[in-house]
């Protein structure tokens, strides 16, 4: 396997982790910037959950098309 060292925004960690697992990869090490407070982390997580739930509602309402992980990665 190839090992990559990358820097991504903190709010992209969940999505990237899911993609890596789907591809058969794994997160070997993860470090978050220490400048983010616990309240900011909680607020970011809540924002991500709310966005995900809105996406689910929009898909169910037919406002946006459902996209599989494969379609998202390979167009």
Q: 52 falls in which pLDDT band (50, 70, 90)?
A: very high
Residue 59 reports pLDDT greater than 90:
yes
Contacts of 59 (CB under 8 A, 6+ apart): 65, 66
Q: What is the pLDDT of residue 51?
A: 93
Is pTM beyond 0.85 here? no
Tens-digit pLDDT profile for residues 1-38: 788 888 888 788 888 888 888 888 888 888 776 677 88
What secondary structure letter does DSSP report for 3?
Answer: -
Q: 68 falls in which pLDDT band (50, 70, 90)?
A: confident
Dihedral (CA of 7, 8, 9, 13) sign? negative
Give the domain ranges of the chain. Answer: 37-75
């Amino acid at each position: 396997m190839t090992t990559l060292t990358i820097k991504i925004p903190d709010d992209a960690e969940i999505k990237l982790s899911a993609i890596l697992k789907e591809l058969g990869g794994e997160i070997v090490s993860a470090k978050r910037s220490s400048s983010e407070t616990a309240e900011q982390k909680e607020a970011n997580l809540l924002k991500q959950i709310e966005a995900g739930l809105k996406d689910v509602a929009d898909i169910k309402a037919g406002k946006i098309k459902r996209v599989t992980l494969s379609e998202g990665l390979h167009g």
